Each structure stands twice: as structure tokens, then as C-alpha cells.
Amino acid sequence: MTTTAGRARGAATWRNWSGTATSHAQHHLRPRDTADVVRVVRWAAREGLRVRAVGGGHSFTAAAVTDGVLLDLDRLAGVEGVEPQPGGGALVTVGAGTRLHALNRELAARGLAMENLGDIDRQSVAGAVSTGTHGTGARLGGLATQVVGVRVVGSDGTVREADAGRDPALFQAARLGLGTVGILVALTLRVVPAFTLRAREEVHDLADVLDRLEGPDGWVATTDHVDLYWFPFTHRALVKRNHRAEPGSGPSLAVRRRLEDEVLQNGAFELTNRVAAAVPRAVPALNAVAARALTDRTYCAPSADVFVTRRRVVFREMEYAVPRAALRDVVGEIDAWLRRTREPVPFPVEVRFTAADDVWLSTAHRRESAYVAVHQYHRMPHERYFDAVEAIVAQVDGRPHWGKLHGLDAERLAGLYPRFEDFRAVRAEHDPTGMFRNDYTDRVLGPVG
């Protein structure tokens, strides 16, 4: 093509981080700015090509895959404007392709921070928001709830600004819509003054943890951010409780990085997984060793450093939001299934929490949610495990993370989201020809119109 849009790489094979999705787009383009995006969209409309934006490629699903034009928005990055707010914090407008790690650095330099984050920072802001990425904290919503405005290029090439006052329906659909109502080129985020977190990690008996989570004095209600990891075939769970604190109210992060990264995420954990793949029946013993290596610790650091970890062991993941009240039964059923089948699963199950919110396609839409995430090493089969967990969470109307593996389709999802049809109407209005569709969006959102 002859557009000025960045470096036209021509046809190229693109793969996501986990290797679960591959795209053979006819064109892989890197627009320089919004005007470039508009040119590409208009050209694609004339040529009858489909267009998908891609961020960090960290979705496990084929959400970003296309056979038409793959738009890599890495060059639409950086802070465009900062509007301080009364009482501290600010509204910060950033390019849609800004990676979370770059955003965190930019915010820290200005004495600001995201109020909550997930557990990695490799994603782009647009990609993370578009799939409902979340962290943990029962008083806080996912990343999309921190978005107060979007700038989006529609399938007709028009650039629109939307927020709660201006075109609120487009705002709702564009901020968490899998890129199906347009290409996000900028987002305005509500951010808070920079803060320190004091993290307390403790190893407990799983049954104990489940007893202590709920109630007015329970960990979920009394902790800013609570996260737990439970190793299948063991009774041990690592509970992380992070509280806002004064700087220096605990040892620094360096102490924690070494052990936790090794056991839960990296070096030794890769080795454990390789042994598990070679000798699956050794998994219960391996998990027992890994769970015993976990110890209690306390540390203190700027918020983003506590939220974010490194993930070098490649895995597959499925994550479901379930009503908080259903968590105990769901974990109990997963435990029972694993013990019955001895399915080899060397990865811990992770549980997190968020507040209910009003974002139409948010997994926490109008529901206080517990998130149950199941992982499998990339060299081991995940299908039987994920299918079993999916059947368990189906009984409590679990909603799957839009960026992680799952088997639901539009018919089932429509019954789980009260505003599903409103979303589809906005999508049909802004993309009547289906320029932004792909096979994954057809499955989970249905055809356009």
C-alpha cells in the first residue's frame, strides 16, 4: 500500500506471547499518529480489508488476529496531557499504544500512579483496557474503570472523542470492547498521587484462608489488595495482602524478588515445569516441594513495583470472574476434581477480587467479583483442566476474561451481561460493515448487526 502509515512490513506472521494465536495479516502497519490511522482505515474500507489493532500481544485468545491489516500502535505512545485534579491526582491522556511499564515510569516522574494494576506491565494501555484487564482490591475496579475518556477512529475514518458526558454509549463500548467499535488512539485515565505499598505475604492452610476472606473483618474487606496462590494437591496457599503505607515501613523489595520470582514465576519454576512435563505423575510431589519453599515475608515499595511481577515461564491461562459468595464452592470443586483425576497441574491457582462496576462488558459488571485463574505450563495439555474448571464456574454464572482462554460463545455471554445487546447496537452503529471483526469477535460477540 502507499499510505504514509509507518513502516509497511507487508505480509508477516505475528504470534502472541503465549503462542496460542497466530496472525497472517496481509499488511502489518505501524502508524505514526492519528492521521495515519485514519488514512489506513479509509484505505482498508476502499479495499474491503479488515483491520485489527494489536498492543503487547499478551492476550491468550485470538482477539488481535486478522487476515487483513494488523495495526501495531507502538508509535502512538507517551503522555499527551496532564490535568491536575482538586484534592490530588490527575487526568492523564496517553497514546493508546503506551505500554503500562512506560506509563508507570511517566506517572512516577510526575508524582502520580495508577490506583490499581494487574500483575504484569507489558501490555499496552488500549489492549489491557479493551479486554477488561484487572488487578485485585475489593474496593477498586479493573483498568477500564480508570478510563474517563477515549479517542477512537471509527470504520468511516472519523475521529470521535467520547466520555461519560459526550457520547456515553460509545464511551461504554469503546473502553472495553475488544477493539470492535474502532481503533483507540488515545485514552484519558484517572490517576492518583503516587503511593507506597506495604506487602505482607503469608503461607496458610487453604481452608483457613477461605474462612478468613469474607465478613466485615475478613481479609477481602480490610485489605487494599488481596491476592492468593494455591498449589494444587497441597493445602498450602500464599496470601499477599498489600496496604497503602508510608515509605520505608518495611524492608525493600529486593528481598522478596529473589525467592518469590524463583518459586512462583521464573528460574526454578521453569525447571519444576520441565520435570512436570517429562514426568506428569510427579506433579503432586513437585507442588508439595514448591509450596514448602514459600515463606512469610514483608516488604515495601512504590505501588507499581509491588503490583508488577516478571513472568518468564510461558503458560496458558483461563480466568473467570465469579460472584464473591461462590468462591469457596468453586475452589472446593476444583480441588475435588484435581484430586479425583490427578490431572497434572504444576501451576498455582490464583484468586483475586474487584469491586462491582458499571462498564457494560466488564467481567465485574454489577457484581462484586472473585477471579479464579487457572494456568498450565505451555508444554503440557491444558484442555481437560480448563474444560473442567469452565464447567464448574458455569454453575455460578462465571464470566470469562476476554483476553484469556475460554470456550463460551455470544449466545451464552449475552445471558451473562445485561447490557450485551446495548453493546452490540453501538458496535453495529460504528462498524456496520464489520471492518473490525475477526473470528474470535464473531464467536464471543456474534456477527455485526
In the beta sheet, which residues pair with residue 238?
203, 229
Closer to ligand FAD by CB, 66 or 272: give it: 66
Min dist CB 46 to ligand FAD, Å, is 21
Min dist CB 285 to ligand FAD, Å, is 26
Closer to ligand FAD by CB, 6 or 233: give it: 6
Closer to ligand FAD by CB, 56 or 250: give it: 56
Closer to ligand FAD by CB, 134 or 427: give it: 134
111-123 as b/e: b if 16+ CB within 10 A: ebbbbbbbbbbbb
Do the strands 27-29 and 69-72 form a parallel or antiparallel pair, or are they unpaired? parallel
In the beta sheet, which residues pair with residue 25?
12
Task: Choose among 396, 431, 422, 417: nearest CA to 132.
Answer: 417
Min dist CB 353 to ligand FAD, Å, is 12
Give the C-alpha separation, 91 to 143, whole Å.
14
Min dist CB 84 to ligand FAD, Å, is 26
What single string gives the DSSP state of each residue in 64-102?
T--SSEEEE-TTS-SEEEEEE-TTS-EEEEEETT-BHHH
Min dist CB 192 to ligand FAD, Å, is 19
Min dist CB 47 to ligand FAD, Å, is 19
Min dist CB 123 to ligand FAD, Å, is 3
Closer to ligand FAD by CB, 131 or 233: give it: 131
User: Nearest 5 degrees, angle CA 143-CA 149-CA 151?
Assistant: 110
Give the C-alpha separation, 103 to 308, whole Å.
13
Q: CB-based contacts of 200: which residues, under 8 Å, 6+ apart?
A: 240, 241, 242, 243, 296, 297, 298
Give the C-alpha separation, 181 to 435, whole Å.
9
Min dist CB 434 to ligand FAD, Å, is 14
Place of cell 494444587: 232
Give the DSSP letter of residue 432.
T
Closer to ligand FAD by CB, 54 or 90: give it: 54
Chain residues that interact with ligand FAD, rule: CB under 6 A: 17-18, 52-59, 63-64, 73, 96, 118-120, 123-124, 126-128, 130-131, 133-134, 178-179, 183-184, 311, 401, 403
Cα 131 to its chain centre, rounded Å, is 6
Give the C-alpha separation, 132 to 10, whole Å.
31
Q: Rounded to the nearest 10 degrees, what angle do helices 168-175 and 420-430 cross at?
A: 100
Min dist CB 309 to ligand FAD, Å, is 9
Q: How far is CA 55 from CA 127, 129, 240, in A?
A: 5, 11, 29
Closer to ligand FAD by CB, 144 or 345: give it: 144
Closer to ligand FAD by CB, 294 or 313: give it: 313
Closer to ligand FAD by CB, 132 or 344: give it: 132
Question: For residues 275 and 269, is the Cβ–Cβ distance under 8 A?
Answer: no
Q: Which three cell numbers stand for residue 41?
A: 482505515
Min dist CB 86 to ligand FAD, Å, is 30
Closer to ligand FAD by CB, 207 or 356: give it: 356
